[in-house]
Structure 1
Amino acid sequence: MMAEAAVADVLAIQSLKALYCEGADLLPIDAVRAAEALMAVFTADATADYGAGLLKGRDAIIGFLVDGISPVRSWLWHAIHTPFVAVDGDSAEARWTIVAMMKDKGSDVIERAYGRYADRLVRTPQGWRIASMRWIEEARS
């Protein structure tokens, strides 16, 4: 059985990923508030790979998301599933399956992206934060 502290860590990490998804989904509606929300999700030196090359640093990641989503999408919606979280002291590994639906501005087409996020997280004085994240797209419709 998992100890109470480990359960609390897993729940905190799941909540952090939910905050990431909420922040990303807010990008088409309010890029400023979305960027503020995403600042609390990543470490300052985080890395991310969304399939277009490695982004280094929280500011680069958030800039990529703001510049790539806010001007293009009229809405974005993440559904996160089947969390796997393994905590090892002050670090953790997490994997999630994702369905993301999105609609471009001026379009009636709803796109869907199916894939996985693979994250490495660290415990900071402010709580758990994403230190690295990789998006693995498996299908798009």
Structure 2
Amino acid sequence: MIRGRDHMKIRFAIAAAALALSACNDTSALEALEALEARVQAVEDQLAIQRVITDYSAHLDARDYDGYVGLFTEDGVWANGNTRREGREEIRAMLEGLFGEVEEDYVNLSSFHYIANFEVDVEGDEARSKSRFIFFMRGEGGAPMPELSGQYHDRLVRTEEGWKIAERVDHTVMPTPEEWVAEIEARGLNSLED
């Protein structure tokens, strides 16, 4: 993965080469550099989007409501089945309804999300993404037990602050959404349903 100074060195080298070639008026070499610049941008966009998706789970697991809702656009949408939350305020209210107020020094020792199989397609300042998730909870003897799995289907947009989720559709696969709601209610937890 390209990070920090390496990223800047690559950008600088591309810019310096483009400047030198434009002075020489070598159009084929300049076109090759522009193609390289586009490829580097595409890789950076894909990595940035994967980071948003990974951060989503990290903020959710840490009960970091501000970090979580900050990954969405102001009018972003979160949807699962018949449940739809629009805008950061509604999304935050959903989290507070599910988990309640979080203590300042909260550490989650009961559950975590695992995200994988990223598919990212970028077109300009918009992107579509699919990823798979498994939600683990503490089982007997503290062993991690898979409880829920599914897919996230995202529409993202490039903003001045970076990539943000404009719409996330959470497709629960195993158990089904109905089975999961029943399980949540059986455990005495708050449901996502209205």
- What TM-score range do you get, normalising by the shorter chain? 0.7 to 0.9
Supply the RMSD in Å over aligned alpha carbons: 2.6
The answer to whether 1:39 aligns with 2:36 is no
The answer to whether 1:9 aligns with 2:39 is no
Q: How far apart, CA to CA, are the structure 1 residues paired with 2:162 and 2:90? A: 21
Q: CA deviation at 1:74?
A: 6.6
Q: How far apart, CA to CA, are the structure 1 residues paired with 2:54 and 2:96? A: 18
Instruction: From the two aligned structures, give the one with the greater helix fraction.
Output: 2
Normalising by the residue count of structure 1, what TM-score does the alignment of the two structures yield? 0.82
Q: How far apart, CA to CA, are the structure 2 residues paired with 1:103 and 1:56? A: 31
- The structure with higher relative contact order (CA 8 Å, sep 6+) is 1
Contact residue 120 and residue 133 of structure 1 kept, 8 A: yes
- Corresponding residue of 1:50: 80
Paired letter, 1:12: A
Structure 2 unaligned residues grouped into runs of 5+: 1-35, 102-107, 181-194
Instruction: Specify the SS of the correspondent of 2:61.
Output: helix
Paired letter, 2:88: R
The answer to whether 1:118 aligns with 2:153 is yes
Q: CA deviation at 1:58?
A: 1.4
Normalising by the residue count of structure 2, what TM-score does the alignment of the two structures yield? 0.61
Q: How far apart, CA to CA, are the structure 2 residues paired with 1:62 and 1:74? A: 22
**Rg comparison, structure with higher value:** 2
Structure 1 unaligned residues grouped into runs of 5+: 28-33
Q: Percent identity?
A: 28
Q: CA deviation at 1:111?
A: 5.6
Contact residue 136 and residue 144 of structure 2 kept, 8 A: no
Paired letter, 1:40: G
- Corresponding residue of 1:25: 61
Where in structure 2 are the equivalents of 1:39-78 lying within 5 Å? 39-70=69-100, 75-78=110-113
Contact residue 134 and residue 146 of structure 2 kept, 8 A: no
1:39-93 Cα offsets, whole Å, 9 max, x none, are: 320101001113341111111112202321347x973311001000000000000
Q: How far apart, CA to CA, are the structure 1 residues paired with 2:39 and 2:144? A: 47
Q: How far apart, CA to CA, are the structure 2 residues paired with 1:58 and 1:45? A: 7
Contact residue 93 and residue 120 of structure 1 kept, 8 A: yes
The answer to whether 1:86 aligns with 2:116 is no
1:75-120 Cα offsets, whole Å, 9 max, x none, are: 331100100000000000000010011359xxx9956101000000
